[in-house]
Amino acid sequence: MARQQVEDQVMALAEEMLAGQDIIELVDVEYVKERGDWYLRVYIDKEGGIDIEDCQALSEKLEAKLDEKDMIPESYILEVSSPGIDRVLRKERDFVREQGKKVDVTLYAPIDGEKAFTAELKGYDAKAKLLKLDERELPLDKIAQIRLHIDF
């Protein structure tokens, strides 16, 4: 099964498990191979942050469902955790929720000589798939990664 298919199916399964409660939000799912092992990472969050019990509860439920459905043919390591303070922004709700905050942006190709920069996320146009970053607007398909900026 292709990596994207696994991510999409696990995302749908996890969202179904979290439906009906407005406390824990599914942030992202990634299925990656690192040093010869497959990792299925599920990132969750909630207002005030998640704790180990939140992660463990979802991990146990998700593991049981994944075993029952036998969706992933190869062996993998399941990790359920917080996306961290420098979380990657991927979804419309991320762009809406994090407006007004500084973000680190990495582009696929340089624009005006810049391939990476820090800016304030000022808006998101869902129809046009555009982000307003400081005084510029960029289409999402030009952005390789956008994550929350950390000031030390």
Q: Output the pTM of the full model.
A: 0.74
Q: Which DSSP helix (H) or strand (E) runs through 13?
A: helix 3-18
Architecture of domain 3-81: 2-Layer Sandwich (3.30)
What is the full per-residue pLDDT of the chain (152 aa) written as tens digits? 788 899 999 999 999 999 877 789 898 899 999 999 999 999 999 888 899 999 999 999 999 999 999 989 899 999 999 988 888 898 888 898 899 999 999 999 999 899 999 999 999 998 989 999 999 999 999 999 999 999 87
Q: What are the E-state strand segments in 35-84?
A: 37-45, 77-81
Kindly report the CATH class assigned to 92-148.
mainly beta
60, HSE (Cβ side, Cα atoms, 13 Å): 5
User: Do 92-148 and 3-81 have the same topology in CATH?
Assistant: no
**What are the sequence ranges of the domains in the chain?**
3-81, 92-148
Which contacts qualify for 136-139: CB closer than 8 Å, 24 or more apart? 138/105, 138/107, 138/111
Q: Using CA atoms, how far apart are residues 141 and 152, in angstroms rounded to an integer?
A: 30
